[in-house]
């Protein structure tokens, strides 16, 4: 309760064979502080606790042959069901189940923001060659991927997703505007439609380092000009490093002028090749 208003706490259940791995997230830095300040609840369900044999087996050889092992349907399904039940208790809607998989839709900042809005999530971390397909078809709401590469398990991917989500929770960052200034985030009234821009350069003291000076505009105290410079840098850096992102944008006339000026200046200084 804060200022008479009930703060909704994000509830996240993690189905994993290695819950100890998540201490890297829950005990350190911004994410650890968010957990300690009860901005979110993290709880873990280990499929081994739902295995029916005395060896607590959670994997078996794949039908049809082939290398590796597959996570068995029963213990994984029971763990997910338990997580969903606990998280959704006394709630009006069921938890949304996300399976971290290289076959999933690649995550971006806008997708992360949508997941944060769901409030109740279960993250399923696979291992071995994968999870029995019957679990995926009956228990999983969506599959998400960090990119077109393969990890040994879903834990690292889940931690990356959690870190990105926690940054968007109210109160997680010391400055509420910090998340808005991140790469791929909305930034400024003139940039609301362009959510795929990279971040602008950052500087701090001293003003001169190794013969390089802080851009004078940042020392001017003119906040309007500083915002324009930062927007120009975001446009220019995105054009330099990730030109593919411009396919998803529609620049205003002012933004196009800023980008054109960036190209001219950097061509003259030799920072980019002349067209």
Which of 62, 74, 102, 163 is flagged as catalytic? 102
- Annotated catalytic residue within 182, 190, 199, 227: 182
Rounded CA separation 144/124 (Å): 10
Distance separating the N- and C-terminal Cα atoms of the chain: 58
- 129 catalytic per annotation: yes
- The total of other beta-carbon atoms located within 10 Å of residue 260's CB is 13
Query: Of these residues, 167, 191, 230, 234, which one is catalytic?
Result: 167
Q: Which of 74, 108, 129, 143 is catalytic?
A: 129
Rg, C-alpha atoms of the chain: 23
Tokens of 92: 């009006």
For strand 142-145 and strand 208-209, is the pairing parallel, antiparallel, or unpaired?
unpaired
Give the DSSP letter of residue 147.
Answer: S
99 phi/psi in degrees, rounded to 5: -105, 120
Question: Which tokens sit at 63?
Answer: 């039908």
Q: Which residues are annotated as catalytic?
A: 102, 129, 167, 182
């Amino acid at each position: 309760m804060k200022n008479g208003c009930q703060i909704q706490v994000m509830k996240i259940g993690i189905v994993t064979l290695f819950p100890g791995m998540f201490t890297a997230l829950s005990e350190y830095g911004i994410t650890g502080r968010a957990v300690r300040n009860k901005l979110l609840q993290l709880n873990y369900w280990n499929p081994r606790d739902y295995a029916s044999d005395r060896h607590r087996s959670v994997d078996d050889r794949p039908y049809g042959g082939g290398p590796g092992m597959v996570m068995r349907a029963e213990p994984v399904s029971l763990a997910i069901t338990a997580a969903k039940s606990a998280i959704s208790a006394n709630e009006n809607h069921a938890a949304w189940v996300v399976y971290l998989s290289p076959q999933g839709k690649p995550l971006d900042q806008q997708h992360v923001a949508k997941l944060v809005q769901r409030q109740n999530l279960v993250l399923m971390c696979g291992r071995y060659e994968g999870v029995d397909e019957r679990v995926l078809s009956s228990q999983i709401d969506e599959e998400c991927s960090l990119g077109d590469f393969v990890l040994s398990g879903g834990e690292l991917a889940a931690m990356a997703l959690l870190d990105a989500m926690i940054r968007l929770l109210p109160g997680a960052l010391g400055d509420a505007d910090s998340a808005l200034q991140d790469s791929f985030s909305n930034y400024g009234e003139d940039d609301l439609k362009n959510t795929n821009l990279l971040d602008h350069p950052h500087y701090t003291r001293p003003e001169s380092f190794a013969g390089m000076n802080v851009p004078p505009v940042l020392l001017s105290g003119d906040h309007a000009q500083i915002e324009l410079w930062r927007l120009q840098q975001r446009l220019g850096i995105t054009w330099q490093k990730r030109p593919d992102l411009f396919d998803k944008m529609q620049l205003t006339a002012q933004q196009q002028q800023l980008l054109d000026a960036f190209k001219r200046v950097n061509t003259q200084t030799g920072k980019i090749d002349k067209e």
